[in-house]
């Protein structure tokens, strides 16, 4: 059992599943979480929508053509992060060895919990039952001796399933799979390998490393090791998000500086709200701009004192925007990201002499309390009211 103690736990259509808890009438129907704007992308899709070809990150316009009957639900990111925290708390109650990969999936090494909780398969069943009973959503669990194989197993048993690949069965299982099951083998790499007659994981394992390196470069050796089930990486506990941010794609490319500044303010409030709800502070603020030709630039600034205030994040973001100088072309997307995060409880806040920074924090914390009780759109900064009115008119 200790040779097969790594679990990959992945929620099923996470954003959609969270939304369906309050809208059970939509169960069994094609549902997409995302903004209905033409140039937005699919954030999550129910399995009924996926059956028509809809995928995450697909442009919304394409998704709607593929699945015109889909029901669109606008995302509630704060709610998703709250549920994510509850998921991670369940994992942490099982083992200290938890490595989150995103808001809805993680690796767990349960070797140290076997004597207390039973076999890895028993623990996998227990996790799925707790996620279902406590959170009202479903999870799929892959169990194996390595992270790579555990993730393959969870993918292959979706949705709402569990699959254990015992150590002695690893090679026979891997070699029955198509080559694109290997990490790093996407569509283009798969085409290159197919031209050499390599279509399965077994074909990769039978190919000399030197031949793979000729066509894949340094990645050839990595792919070959995976085809033999070799993945020595341990489950590495990470408890802090690396960054928190938000971005927006405009419905029409823009050169309007007032519109860019207003969007930066809105994104700064979204980012700061998530920082405070996660009890985190950021030492670095980054700006992202994507132009009409899809070229992307980023700029960042590290602060002397960590922040979680939207106004302070906004001031840094505007300064970064101005540092770019005149824009040669219109802007398609703008984003704000908070980086170098640290827990509020372990960080000493430096108070400003004039109290301005502290006043902003106090005011925004009051907004958090109002939003928690009455909804996020109850109070808005005055500069964002025009955008809110336009959204209501539409």
Residues annotated as catalytic are 105
Residue 171, classed as helix, strand or coil, is: helix
Alpha carbons within 13 A on the beta-carbon side of 356:
4
Alpha carbons within 13 A on the beta-carbon side of 99:
14
Question: Which sign does the torsion angle of CA 369, 372, 375, 380 carry?
Answer: positive
CA distance 155 to 58: 19
Other beta carbons less than 10 A from residue 113's beta carbon: 20
* Cα first-last separation, the chain: 58
Query: Where are any strands of DSSP class E within the chain?
Result: 6-11, 31-33, 44-45, 71-73, 98-102, 105-109, 139-144, 162-164, 243-254, 280-291, 296-307, 331-343
Is 8:164 a contact under the CB 8 Å cutoff?
no
* CB neighbour list of residue 25: distance below 8 Å, 6 or more residues apart: none
């Amino acid at each position: 059992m200790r040779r097969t103690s790594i679990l990959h736990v992945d929620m099923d259509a996470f954003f959609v599943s969270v939304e369906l808890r309050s809208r059970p009438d939509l169960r069994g129907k094609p549902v997409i979480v995302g903004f209905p704007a033409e140039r937005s992308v699919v954030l999550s899709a129910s399995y009924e929508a996926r059956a028509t070809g809809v995928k995450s990150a697909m442009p919304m316009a394409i998704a709607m053509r593929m699945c015109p009957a889909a029901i669109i639900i606008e995302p509630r990111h704060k709610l998703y992060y709250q549920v994510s925290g509850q998921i991670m708390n369940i994992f942490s109650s099982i083992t200290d060895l938890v490595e989150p990969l995103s808001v809805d999936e993680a690796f767990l090494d349960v070797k140290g919990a076997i004597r207390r909780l039973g076999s890895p398969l028993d623990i996998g069943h227990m996790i799925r039952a707790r996620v279902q009973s406590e959170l009202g959503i479903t999870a799929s669990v892959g169990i194996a001796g390595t992270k790579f194989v555990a993730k393959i197993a969870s993918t292959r048993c979706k949705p709402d399933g569990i699959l254990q690949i015992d150590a002695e069965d690893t090679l026979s299982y891997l070699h029955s799979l198509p080559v694109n099951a290997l990490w790093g083998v996407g569509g283009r790499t798969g085409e290159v390998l197919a031209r050499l007659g390599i279509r399965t994981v077994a074909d990769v394992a039978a190919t000399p490393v030197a031949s793979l390196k000729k066509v894949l470069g340094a990645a050839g050796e990595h792919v070959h090791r995976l085809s033999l089930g070799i993945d020595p990486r341990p489950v590495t506990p990470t408890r802090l998000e690396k960054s928190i941010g938000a971005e927006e794609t405009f419905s029409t490319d823009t050169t309007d500086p007032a519109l860019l500044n207003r969007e930066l303010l809105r994104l700064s409030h979204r980012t700061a709200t998530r920082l405070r709800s996660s009890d985190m502070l950021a030492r670095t603020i980054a700006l992202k701009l994507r132009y009409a030709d899809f070229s992307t630039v980023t700029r960042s600034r590290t602060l002397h004192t960590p922040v979680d205030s939207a106004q302070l994040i906004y001031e840094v973001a505007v300064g970064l925007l101005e540092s770019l100088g005149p824009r040669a072309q219109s802007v398609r997307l703008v984003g704000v990201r908070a980086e170098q995060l640290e827990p509020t409880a372990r960080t000493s806040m430096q108070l400003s002499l004039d109290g301005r920074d502290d006043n902003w924090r106090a005011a925004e914390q009051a907004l958090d309390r109002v939003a928690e009780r009455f909804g996020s759109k109850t109070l808005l900064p005055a500069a964002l009211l025009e955008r809110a009115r336009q959204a209501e008119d539409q």
